[in-house]
Structure 1
Amino acid sequence: MPNLAFAGLVDGGWRDLAFEPFRHGVAVHWLLKGGPVEPSVAVLRYQPGAGVPRHRHAGLETIVVLEGIQSDDNGDYPAGSVILNPVGSEHSVWTKDGCVVLIQWDLPVIFLGETK
């Protein structure tokens, strides 16, 4: 597979992307959609008040906040923040006023206490 490049993405280019539903209140644009044992990269757009339930990281997760403020059990992260969630870490995520993040997962997360 050739490399993938997304010029201007972090400077607002994400606004031109087409998003699809991901979780309640969260939309996704996949930049690279991996499988169950492959990395994925996406832009997530959270509506005000949206969140993701508590989960554990099976692989490294890297987040760059592009707009707004994302919060988790450890703090609040305004635009420009970079968050690294190492293997084995657990948290839930939310936003009061909405946010947009660039996110990379080495492996899919494991949701805790959520039934299918």
Structure 2
Amino acid sequence: MIERRAMARTPVNRAARLSFGEIRGTHPCMVRDINALGACISTPYYVFANELVLSFDGHSAIFICRVMWRKGTLCGVSFLLHRRSSEFANDSSEPLAILAVE
């Protein structure tokens, strides 16, 4: 398979939570891989939302995301600079620092 991403992703297979604008509560997901620009997320449900909030560690770190592709219960997201922004994040350290093993 040919890698089409600008940056390689780091496999993490880490549990996280998703929240969606008008839907109350948070919902489980698994972050399969991640880099500074985005992540691959798997869920036990189909993600219909175009934007979502991804959180780790009880919301100590959140990432506003735009869904770029979907395939069943798997989706790829790009990190946004802030909610409702059309700009994509490009800080290369933040997402991977959150996932550092202690």
Output the TM-score relative to the length of structure 1. Answer: 0.32
Q: Which structure is higher in RCO with an 8 Å CA cutoff and minimum separation 6?
A: 1
Output the TM-score relative to the length of structure 2. Answer: 0.35
